Amino acid sequence: MKPKSYPLQFEPILKERIWGGEKLKTILNKPIVSKITGESWELSTVEGDVSIVANGELKGKSLMELIDEMPNEILGTEVYKRFGKQFPLLFKYLDAREDLSIQVHPNDKLAKERHNSFGKTEMWYVTQADPDARIIVGFKNDSSKEEYLQHLNDKNLVSILDTVKAKSGDVFFLETGTVHAIGAGLVVAEIQQTSDITYRLYDFDRKDAQGNTRELHVDLALDAINYNKVDTQKKYETKTNTSNVVVDCPYFTTNFIPLGNKVSVSKSGETFTVYMCIEGAFEIEFDGFKKAYQKGDTVLIPAEINAFILNGKASILEIYIS
């Protein structure tokens, strides 16, 4: 007999990064032990980094095991039809104590041909921002391969890139091909296609503790880059107790819910839903199940759970595939 589904939490997969810090603990309550923790992977089926259930009867099982045993029930009928037994999204929190490298992600076609992977369309929700924190998103003006290479070789690539000041609550949507970098002083929630393919263009000539520089992928990136100016920042409404659409793209839909009290939610069973608690605290109530979640928590609602209640005072990101 198949086990009964319930809202699932997973053990965070913590990643040390040369640019990481300690805010994942101080701001998002993650159990980090390193002073250079850059990422907490909240929900992942990337090979070697598969999420493990942290709560309830299914504790200790991997997300891949659950999908293998109950694909329609976990993923949803339409998601299963479209992706098979693949979990198509990856959820993370990132803490940038220093600037990340300037990078780009390939589209589905290039990623499939070169790496047998999905491409990497992604979005950032800025959870916390230090004063004057900035991000790099695309080119200031339409550019070209030649201009890009000239500035890269001259070590002044940043001069032709668009740098934007970022504050808490800002959202940036990055289609594949967009050159980008998260700047120092930012904590972001990242929602993306399931892919770990990144082409690093420039790393500010940094060296790690052993004196080594990180690998660059200049040649691979040339055909992956969109050299045109792009508009990446998303404006969205903030109506209380409402799923306000932030990003709606072929790969995922993300809504922002300013939860003020109790809200009843109904789902179709076609897709899973993920909630990321950005601020405050809330509870999920479902068929005798009741659990509280706090800032930094991520919870997966299996697709077969089609009616439940959100209750509390919180800012929540709601993500599903439409």
Question: Would you say 191 and 122 are in contact if contact means Cβ atoms under 8 Å apart?
Answer: yes
Does the annotation place 180 within a ligand binding site?
yes
Query: Does 151 carry a binding-site annotation?
Result: no
Apex 247 CA angle, 230 and 74, nearest 5: 135
State the catalytic residue, choosing from 17, 82, 97, 200.
200
Residue 208 vs residues 17, 164, 299: alpha-carbon distances, Å: 10, 27, 34
Nearest to 252 by CA among 307, 174, 163: 174
Q: Catalytic residue at 200?
A: yes
Q: Which residues contact 211 (CB under 8 A, 6 or more apart)?
A: none
Nearest to 296 by CA among 282, 281, 278: 278
Tokens in use for 206?
């940094």
SS3 81: helix
What is the per-residue DSSP string for 112-147? HHHHSS----EEEEEEEE-TT-EEEEEESS---HHH
Measured distance CA(271)–CA(87) in Å, rounded: 11
| C-alpha–C-alpha distance, residues 113 and 296, integer Å | 36
CB 211 within 8 A of CB 202: no
Which residues are catalytically annotated? Answer: 200
Which residues contribute to the annotated binding site for Zn(2+)? 105, 122, 180
Binding residue ranges:
105, 122, 180
